[in-house]
Amino acid sequence: MVKLVLLWHMHQPWYVAPFTGRFELPWARIHSIKDYYGMAKLLEEFPGIKATFNLVPSLLRQIELYLEGRKDRFQEVFEINPENMTNEQAAFLVKNFFSANFDNHIKPFPRYNFLHNKMSEKGGRNYTGKWREIFSDNELTDLQVWFSLSNIDQYYRENDDRVKDLIKKGEGFNDSDKKMISAIELEIMGKIIPLYKELWEKENIEISTTPYYHPILPLLIDPQLGRSADPTLPEYNLNFNWKEDAELQVSKGLVYMEKTFDRKPDGIWPSEGSLSEDVIGILENNGIKWTATDEKIIERSLDKSGTRPGETGNAKFMPWTLRNGNIKMFFRDNYISDLIGFHYKNWDQKEAARDLYNKIEAVGEGRKEEIILPVILDGENAWEFYSDSGREFLREFYSLVEKSEKVDMITFSEATSIRAGNLNKFSAGSWINGNFNIWIGDEDDRKGWELIRIVKELIERNRDSIPDELIPEIMENILIAEGSDWFWWYGSENHTDDLETFDRLFRENLINVCKTADVPIPAELEIPVFGKIEKRDGIKKNPNRYLSPVIDGKETSIYEWFGCGEIETGNMASAIYISHPVFRKIKYCFDKENLYLNIEMKDEAEKYITGDLSFELEIGNGDVRSKIYLEHGDFEPSCFFGSILESRIPLHIFEGKEGDELKIIFTIKKRNKIYSNFPDHGSLIIKIPTERDYAINWVL
């Protein structure tokens, strides 16, 4: 029997500006109307299913602020009648109100798709002209409405007559429609916390939580753990111990959750699955019964404890304690979790659900003992890439599990009763590659940590002159600045078009510390941490092994390209916005002699060679620049347009060798005129991995 423990992690960064109290970005609201309510509501249909929802206190507090009347910048623009809109306001509207997944939130709605195409014809959201001259007042009103309407929860789309009527109306919206949209949004947000509370009281779900502002606790206590987890990082001069802050983030979160739900959670999913021995001690001191992290951590911890190779294969399928402590630790199954988060979104939803169930059932085959299978992933962001927010997928999967005699879904608290192993030592790390590189591995990350250190030391030096009643407000801004999300976006690993906003919010919280304490504001706080905004390369995942796929224009199985690199191109979460979007996703990999490309397009690839489009690829490798024409046929480089575009390009064409950094530009021409570029700014940068890179990035 497989005991499946499924955790949906619900979190958004703290978007509230300290000086205005306004939400600078709308995503806590958007995910509230799209995911937080519907994901829990769905479980009412499946009384035999027990899932765990991890709710971050700072997210819930933001929902409360909306209900108390706070607004975000997008809402302010939404409420403006386009007749009275300035060119700047219209530019903000057009630039931001298409921030949605094209295939699932724009294309299915004819009016929204028409407006998107009209924007694209002018070169996309970066058009420098006056949008007031491009869009009519009625079109701008419809854009205001569709951004929210396309995100309203699937349950409401299916069951609420107001929402169904608005979707049916489609265009020609007015102020009355806008007021209705706003009322529906607040209605949904007002139901979220009561629904989770009710389901928890009925024991349909378990609720766990995270330290209040989602900090990387191990780094608060010892920033040098970054190098301990990855010795290849350069040496850095960050030495502090903010254990009291870490303890406060945990206790503050638990107090909030108990006040909100009338009971204290038994479990904590630490921010980004980041744990260390000190953090485990803090959780134990707060009465936490279970926590979780990544499967890489149990492998490294067992190795650190002296366990022989070959004895760790089943380690992730059971709970563990540290030196016979009270807290039980679970270890996330990467493969199953990532299938949901990344692989199934383009499948037929019922087929994907059946495949997922079969893979979970197969884990238990041939085992006499019960095993724990921890599946832990983001509970919000994946669903914009699934049609109908993945509800058909989830319904089919929950139904299969509910009827199963081989898979039983239980809560993490229930799983703590299963016999646990015992670790002598624990290897600190997070769920991303088992290290902390995302949050401290880049120079910009370390600049951010240094700013917090400067401000904390400034407060400490002036503590005697600061009134005691101001300390809670000062500490609140410091705790906010310690959140993980600022550091997620600093550095080269991840890209957001909102980097300037994130950076400004981070520094404003530290500036507010100084203003509240009436101490001089350090000059460093006036300078953006990132220095210069650069378009990130859009890489979501690097290759983790040598691969030699068959080049035939079709992906024959999930395993043919499993372990490849992936680049998202044409959706809200991607690095680059594309005018006339053609590419949806690029997969790439290498063997010793070739670069392989797998390009998923908006339509089947073969449709693009029957018209007047041509595809060119420019690869820069140092001083070598090679132009390659992607033409259908089995010659060098081989290229086939089928359901997807697949190509094999010999490394010798651009003198490529392991370790080289390649700068790539795709150009699509229509009748020999440029129709679309990817990226639309700069170059796509990928590295030909070395054997060491593959060893570091290897994933089961």
Residue-wise pLDDT tens digits, 570-596: 433 332 233 355 787 899 999 999 999
- Taking the alpha carbons of 121, 124, 130, 133 in that order, is the dihedral positive or negative? positive
Q: 162 is in which domain, residue-wise?
A: 15-201
Inside any domain, residue 536? no
First to last CA, the chain: 22
> In sequence order, which residues have a C-beta less than 8 Å from that of residue 208 and are 6 or more positions away?
7, 52, 53, 54, 55, 265, 266, 267, 268, 269, 290, 412
Inside any domain, residue 478? yes
CATH number at residue 692: 2.60.40.10
Inside any domain, residue 1? no
CA 198 to each of CA 153, 208, 394: distance values in angstroms, whole numbers, following the listed order: 19, 15, 21
Same domain, 238 and 382: yes
Same domain, 487 and 583: no
Find the DSSP H helices in 262-329: 277-285, 295-304
CA distance 59 to 294: 23
Which of 201, 225, 254 delimits the end of a domain? 201
CA distance 115 to 90: 14
Same domain, 507 and 546: no
CA distance 542 to 685: 11
Inside any domain, residue 148? yes
CA distance 492 to 193: 36
Q: Which residues of the chain have pLDDT under 50?
A: 309-310, 533-537, 570-579, 699-700
Domain count, the chain: 4
Using alpha carbons, select from 284, 268, 258 the residue that is nearest to residue 200: 258
Question: Tokens at residue 57, please?
Answer: 């206190």
Inside any domain, residue 429? no
Same domain, 226 and 196: no
CA distance 117 to 107: 10
Note the pLDDT of residue 539: 55
> SS3 string of 270-289?
CHHHCECHHHHHHHHHCCCC
pLDDT digits (tens, 9 = 90+) for 255-280: 999 999 999 999 999 999 999 999 99
Inside any domain, residue 437? no
CA distance 597 to 589: 7
Using alpha carbons, select from 592, 619, 641, 638 the residue that is nearest to residue 685: 619
> In sequence order, which residues have a C-beta less than 8 Å from that of residue 135 and are 6 or more positions away?
90, 94, 115, 118, 143
Note the pLDDT of residue 535: 43
DSSP string covering 535-551, please? ----EEE---S------
- Asked, as a colleague might, if the bond just before 270 is cis with ω within 30 of 0, I would say no
Inside any domain, residue 431? no
Can you point out the beta strands (E) in 24-132?
51-55
Q: Which residue has the tokens 């492998």?
A: 299
CATH number at residue 275: 3.20.110.10
Note the pLDDT of residue 309: 44
Environment class of residue 65 by beta-carbon count within 10 Å: exposed (0-12), middle (13-18) or buried (19+)?
Answer: middle
Note the pLDDT of residue 358: 96
Same domain, 419 and 556: no
Same domain, 73 and 90: yes
Same domain, 37 and 155: yes
Same domain, 216 and 181: no
Same domain, 237 and 371: yes
Q: Is 676 helix (H, G, I), strand (E, B) or coil?
A: strand
CA 2 to each of CA 316, 359, 370, 396: distance values in angstroms, whole numbers, following the listed order: 13, 11, 6, 18
What angle separates helix 349-363 from helix 391-403, to the nearest 10 degrees? 40
Question: Tokens at residue 268, please?
Answer: 């904590």
CA distance 76 to 270: 34
Which of 526, 561, 581 delimits the end of a domain? 526
Same domain, 195 and 229: no
Backbone φ, ψ for residue 146 (5° rounding): -70, -30
Using alpha carbons, select from 306, 232, 234, 229 the residue that is nearest to residue 275: 229
CA distance 660 to 459: 47
User: CA 583, 589, 592 angle in degrees (round to 5)?
Assistant: 145
Q: Is residue 442 a contact partner of residue 449, using CB atoms and an 8 Å limit?
A: no
Backbone φ, ψ for residue 232 (5° rounding): -75, -10
Inside any domain, residue 616? yes
Same domain, 659 and 597: yes
Which of 423, 453, 484 delimits the end of a domain? 423
Q: Is residue 93 a contact partner of residue 87, using CB atoms and an 8 Å limit?
A: no
Q: Is residue 427 a contact partner of residue 476, using CB atoms and an 8 Å limit?
A: no
Using alpha carbons, select from 1, 4, 10 the residue that is nearest to residue 374: 4
Note the pLDDT of residue 126: 73
Same domain, 274 and 328: yes
CA distance 500 to 528: 8
